[in-house]
Amino acid sequence: MATEEYVTVTKNACKLCTPLGASLFFKGICGSIPLLHGSQGCSTYIRRYLISHFKEPVDIACSNFGEQTAIFGGEVNLKVAFDNIIRQYNPEFIGVATTCLSETIGDDVPMFIRKYKEANRDNKLPQLVYVSTASYRGTHIDGFHDSVKATVDILTSEYSYCKRENSINIFPGMLSPADLRYLKEIFNDFDVPFVMLPDYSQILDGSPWKEYQKFPKGGTKVENIINMGTAKACIEFGKILAEQNSAGKLLNKRYDMPCYNIGIPMGIHETDIFFNSIETITGKSTPEKYIEERGRLIDSYIDSHKYVMGVRAAVYGEEDMVVAIVSFLNEIGIIPVLCASGGKSGYFKDKIREMISDFDEKGIVVIDDSDFSHIETFAKQLKPDILIGSSKGYAISRSLKIPLIRVGFPIHDRINGSRILHIGYRGAQQLFDTIVNTLLEKRQESSVVGYSYM
Amino acid sequence: MTAIHILKEREKQIYEKGSQPFDLTCDKHSIAGSISQRACVFCGSRVVLYPIADALHLVHGPIGCAAYTWDIRGALSSGPQLHRFSFSTDLKEKDVIFGGEKKLYQALNTLIDTYSPKAAFVYATCIVGIIGDDVDSICKKMSKEKGIPVLPVHSEGFKGTKKDGYKAACEALFKLVGQGSINHDSETSKFRINILGEFNIGGEAWIIKNYYEKIGVQVVSVMTGDSRIDDIKSAHEASLNVVQCSGSMTTLAKMMKEKYDIPFIRVSYFGIEDVSKALYDVSAHFKDNPQILENTKKLVSSEIQNIYPELQKIKKALFGKKAAIYVGGAFKAFSLIKALRLIGMDVVLVGSQTGDQDDYKMLKELCDDGTVIVDDANPLELSKYIVEKKADLVIGGVKERPIAYKMGIGFCDHNHERKIPLAGFIGMLNFAKEVYATVMSPVWKFAPRHL
């Protein structure tokens, strides 16, 4: 739909800006404070947006540009910001992400950091990591992945490693706290040491406190990130990320470390690949518990296959998330008639096409760089039975009367955004049950008889 | 005591009544590195203009600003829903290099043709000022071509505080005022007002408008709750501006006073005391029609009678419980203190993002000894005093909610994102019910602070 409107205006964006992804990633490091270098609104809006999803405090500092800062540059503000954060929070790690403002005025943040470190040679400083996240380049997912890479780059570069440990580095990407907890469970059950980056599973989904915690419990430890250079191998989720310059690739290049670039493990096919990767790296077999999970999942696929066969779905979200959902839908017979993303990597359509053998016959529409206005236009034509994506699709769900299966980020109209499990056999089971039950409910409600026995 | 320390630079912005002479610093730019609860200039403009339902709101800049303000507010419209869209020029790298003017022009052109709005607001965000787009001249050109007002709103995030954003919004509104006229053929009263600073959150403007109509006062425009461009254009034909949320709208009231000689009064619709006072103040202004005062007396007494018994029940349960208030504008805090007292609660902390010296003096007068007053607080400070002062309730917005909940304390949303009306008499009852629901919930017994 290459109309003029398409290129000049975005209506109801299906993406957020890059500093949001960076902020979320930095929250997943133990003892870390994200610092946005720019105007105050950026941190406030992003905090508000993340809080509404995770329902947890999200402290993000800001260098609070004023008019003078915009004219003379942000060096002083950044320095003062570091000082104040260190005095008040004493963090182990500060993740600096730029905003469109500091990028546009051309602040040389790496130089500011170098000078700050020099001036504070005698003090013990937190790790200072910088990532360039101009919001006019890419979307929140790019901000996320770029921050992972920047962190690994800076923290592993200062050390030379000579020995290889038995551990695995896992780069899960932007998943839910429930997903991250599940990943940890898997590695623990394999009894293999691992470093997962990031890990906001507790920080953004934790217990109540007696007193305010500057640093909620959990997160990837800085010393563990430093040691990522010694791991035996990396596993990195995201087929589109696999085409890009990622943290895993960096370790692969720098330390000749094998990197398993695999899809986000949604559904049996991709989860099998994930478990096979761990088996290959460790030489251990998948614990019985997961083989049973897999068995139950297949059993339920069989029990309910007729309810889902030929059902039409519209899927939207970050490109890799959509690709993963499509893989899952494809293995149960649901046709992803519309696959949409606000991202624009250039690989989106190819990755989907290569998973679906009769892609063209099925008339599947794939749109990148899209917004909810395009998604609605196509949904009207393609008439999907269900929508799968974040809560931002609710307006379409309501106007077209198509049920919405909520996954991913953000979930602003339900309470369980943190607890949605997407990955692994268990995540597929949850998603499968939700989809089938939604279809059953639709069938039940539209029936004149209204059986209570389906 | 908690282990949280206050930064030295921040000490002057915190005051505990009774313990020291009053000398609170405010109206300062937030210090770098702070985790302020404040927002930016853009936020101020967007929040004021957002509820205008038949206008196009186009955010000129990269995607973030538009995405984070998409449909986040409970500002209702009785007709068009155009305000609930999020339109952005979604500037990309090449636009930043070569300028975004062409894109802005095309975006406006397409959007105005598609949606036929009555006016358009173009919000200039941070980098627009830096890359030097001439937003004013594009708006002017577009206005000429399309025959509707196309108004630039200079809300570059770094050019001041949220207050400057309010000002930019008021300037845009002021350009509309005087361009139209109310329909004088139909029956119009000569007792006409504008309601300023009422945003129809959960239908509040409807409640308030209904009160005015009942007492015999005609409402020409509401700025900006459930507002229409034509109403705003006729706003100069009112004889009184009634200003709530004075932080955001006093600028406009002053401009209208100067140009159209329309006086203004400040009111609040939160709490029985203040909503009654608002109606009485308006009736006092129209004293040449004694019927209005009579109607007001009747209305106030019947409305209070309706809610009083239930309020008393709630008060009994909440008596002696403690509340902490942290809101955007300080003016709202005055009403909240009174409203909380009415249901038996004491205020132990009160603060705001943007209060000025007079606001804080007023707060000091209203508060009891021991109450902490704070300007431009951050999560650490808020949590410190909430815990130390043993609050049972926090009143604030989305960013304060997790601070309260995390510490096992009740919370009431008194910001723009709530969906329940808290204004007017019925709003007072809703407020009391919500406070009761959160403070008296049995879940707190599981929270660590009670173990």
Query: Looking at this predicted complex, what is its ipTM?
Result: 0.95
* Chain-chain contact of B62 with A4 (C-beta, under 8 angstroms): no
pLDDT single digits (tens) B329-373: 888 899 999 999 999 999 999 999 888 889 899 999 999 999 999
pLDDT single digits (tens) B409-438: 999 999 888 899 999 999 999 999 999 999
Q: Of residues A364 and B184, which shows the higher confidence score? A: A364
Structure-block tokens of residue B144: 């000429």
**Residues in chain B within 8 Å Cβ distance of A83:** 33
Band of the pLDDT at A369, cuts 50, 70, 90?
very high
* Chain-chain contact of B449 with A212 (C-beta, under 8 angstroms): no
- Segment B76-90 shows an average pLDDT of 96
Helical axes A177-190 vs A288-308, angle rounded to 10°: 140
* Chain-chain contact of B157 with A39 (C-beta, under 8 angstroms): yes
Query: Which of B39, B130, B449 has the CB atom closest to A101's CB atom?
Result: B130
Chain A nearest CA to B376, separation (Å): 12
Band of the pLDDT at B74, cuts 50, 70, 90?
confident
pLDDT single digits (tens) A159-169: 777 777 899 99
Chain A nearest CA to B27, separation (Å): 14
Going through B114-257 in order, the beta strands assigned E by DSSP cover 119-124, 150-154, 192-198, 218-224, 240-243
- Segment A7-11 shows an average pLDDT of 85
Contact pairs from chain A to chain B, CB under 8 Å: 235
Q: What is the model's pLDDT at position A7?
A: 60
Number of Cα atoms under 13 Å in the Cβ half of residue A39: 29
Q: Is A445 exposed, middle or buried (0-12, 13-18, 19+ CB in 10 A)?
A: exposed
- Segment B216-234 shows an average pLDDT of 96
Q: What is the model's pLDDT at position B187?
A: 64
Residue A123 has pLDDT above 90, yes or no: yes
* Chain-chain contact of B33 with A39 (C-beta, under 8 angstroms): no
Q: What is the mean pLDDT of chain B?
A: 93
Residue A184 has pLDDT above 50, yes or no: yes
Chain A nearest CA to B133, separation (Å): 13
Band of the pLDDT at A452, cuts 50, 70, 90?
confident
Is B138 an interface residue toward A (CB < 8 Å)? no
Contact A397, A403 (CB under 8 A): yes
Band of the pLDDT at B450, cuts 50, 70, 90?
confident
pLDDT single digits (tens) B195-208: 999 999 999 999 99
The torsion of the CA quartet A117, A122, A124, A126, rounded to 10 degrees, works out to -10
pLDDT single digits (tens) A57-99: 999 999 999 988 988 999 999 999 999 999 999 999 999 999 9
Query: Which of B64, B157, B399 has the CB atom closest to A16's CB atom?
Result: B64
Structure-block tokens of residue B382: 């808020």
Structure-block tokens of residue A378: 């196509």
**Residues in chain A within 8 Å Cβ distance of B42:** 41
Q: Among residues of chain A, what percentage have pLDDT more than 90?
A: 92
- Segment A321-337 shows an average pLDDT of 98
Return contacts of B95-103, CB within 8 angstroms, 24+ apart: B95/A136, B96/A100, B96/A104, B96/A134, B96/A136, B96/B127, B96/B131, B99/B131, B99/B132, B99/B133, B100/B60, B100/B128, B100/B131, B100/B133, B101/B133, B101/B134, B101/B138, B103/A8
Is B401 an interface residue toward A (CB < 8 Å)? yes
Q: Please state, in angstroms and rounded to a whole number, the distance separating the CA atoms of residues B1 and A181.
A: 34
Q: Please state, in angstroms and rounded to a whole number, the distance separating the CA atoms of residues B339 and A66.
A: 37
* Chain-chain contact of A210 with B448 (C-beta, under 8 angstroms): yes
- Segment A321-331 shows an average pLDDT of 98
* Chain-chain contact of A64 with B157 (C-beta, under 8 angstroms): no
Q: What is the model's pLDDT at position B415?
A: 87
**How is the beta sheet containing A127-131 ordered, strand by strand?**
A61-62, A32-37, A93-98, A127-131
**Residues in chain A within 8 Å Cβ distance of B387:** 211-212
Q: Among residues of chain B, what percentage have pLDDT more than 70?
A: 99
Q: What is the DSSP letter of B352?
A: E
What is the pairing mode between strands A127-131 and A93-98?
Answer: parallel
Q: What is the model's pLDDT at position A5?
A: 43
Q: What is the model's pLDDT at position A4?
A: 41
Residue with tokens 């939604």: A438
Q: Please state, in angstroms and rounded to a whole number, the distance separating the CA atoms of residues A283 and A426.
A: 23
Q: What is the model's pLDDT at position A366?
A: 98
Residue B185 has pLDDT above 80, yes or no: no
Which residues have a Cβ under 8 Å from the Cβ of B379 and sit 6 or more positions away?
A57, A59, A212, B35, B37, B399, B403
**How is the beta sheet containing B150-154 ordered, strand by strand?**
A10-11, B87-88, B55-60, B119-124, B150-154
Chain A nearest CA to B336, separation (Å): 23
Query: Which of B39, B89, B387 has the CB atom closest to A40's CB atom?
Result: B39
Q: What is the model's pLDDT at position A2?
A: 41
* Chain-chain contact of B40 with A82 (C-beta, under 8 angstroms): no
Is B99 an interface residue toward A (CB < 8 Å)? no
Radius of gyration (Cα) for chain A, nearest Å?
22
What is the pairing mode between strands A10-11 and B87-88?
Answer: antiparallel
* Chain-chain contact of B37 with A44 (C-beta, under 8 angstroms): yes
Chain A nearest CA to B414, separation (Å): 15
Residue B136 has pLDDT above 90, yes or no: yes
Q: What is the DSSP letter of A229?
A: G
Return contacts of A219-223, CB within 8 angstroms, 24+ apart: A219/A27, A219/A28, A219/A29, A219/A30, A219/A31, A219/A32, A220/A28, A220/A29, A220/A30, A220/A195, A220/A196, A221/A30, A222/A29, A222/A30, A222/A31, A222/A32, A222/A92, A222/A93, A222/A127, A222/A155
* Chain-chain contact of A44 with B405 (C-beta, under 8 angstroms): no
Q: What is the mean pLDDT of chain A?
A: 95
* Chain-chain contact of A101 with B63 (C-beta, under 8 angstroms): no
Q: What is the model's pLDDT at position B21?
A: 80
- Segment A234-259 shows an average pLDDT of 96
For chain A positions 1-30, those within 8 Å of chain B (CB to CB) are 4-5, 8-13, 15-17, 19-20
Query: Which of A8, A61, A104 has the CB atom closest to B33's CB atom?
Result: A61
Is A47 an interface residue toward B (CB < 8 Å)? yes
* Chain-chain contact of A64 with B32 (C-beta, under 8 angstroms): yes
Band of the pLDDT at B188, cuts 50, 70, 90?
low
Query: Which of A11, A85, A212 has the CB atom closest to B87's CB atom?
Result: A11
Band of the pLDDT at B270, cuts 50, 70, 90?
very high
Residue A405 has pLDDT above 60, yes or no: yes
**Residues in chain B within 8 Å Cβ distance of A17:** 62-64, 67
* Chain-chain contact of A12 with B85 (C-beta, under 8 angstroms): yes
Is B328 an interface residue toward A (CB < 8 Å)? no
Band of the pLDDT at B186, cuts 50, 70, 90?
low
Is A66 an interface residue toward B (CB < 8 Å)? yes
Report the sign of the C-alpha dihedral through residues A194, A197, A203, A206, in that order: negative
- Segment A393-409 shows an average pLDDT of 97
Chain B nearest CA to A65, separation (Å): 6
Q: Please state, in angstroms and rounded to a whole number, the distance separating the CA atoms of residues A229 and A302.
A: 44
Is B89 an interface residue toward A (CB < 8 Å)? yes
The phi and psi torsions of B151 (rounded to 5 degrees) equal -115, 125
Is A415 an interface residue toward B (CB < 8 Å)? no
Query: Which of B7, B383, B447 has the CB atom closest to A212's CB atom?
Result: B383
Q: Please state, in angstroms and rounded to a whole number, the distance separating the CA atoms of residues B345 and B337.
A: 9
Contact A382, A337 (CB under 8 A): yes
Structure-block tokens of residue A271: 């989860």
Q: What is the model's pLDDT at position A1?
A: 42
Q: Please state, in angstroms and rounded to a whole number, the distance separating the CA atoms of residues B128 and B100.
A: 8
Q: Please state, in angstroms and rounded to a whole number, the distance separating the CA atoms of residues B235 and B243.
A: 13
This model's pTM is above 0.90: yes
The phi and psi torsions of B16 (rounded to 5 degrees) equal -110, 120
Residue A207 has pLDDT above 50, yes or no: yes
Q: Which residue is closest to B42 within chain A, CA to CA?
A: A41
pLDDT single digits (tens) B282-317: 999 999 999 999 999 999 999 999 999 999 999 999
Query: Which of A41, A69, A87 has the CB atom closest to B7's CB atom?
Result: A87
Query: Which of A51, A52, A80 has the CB atom closest to B32's CB atom?
Result: A80
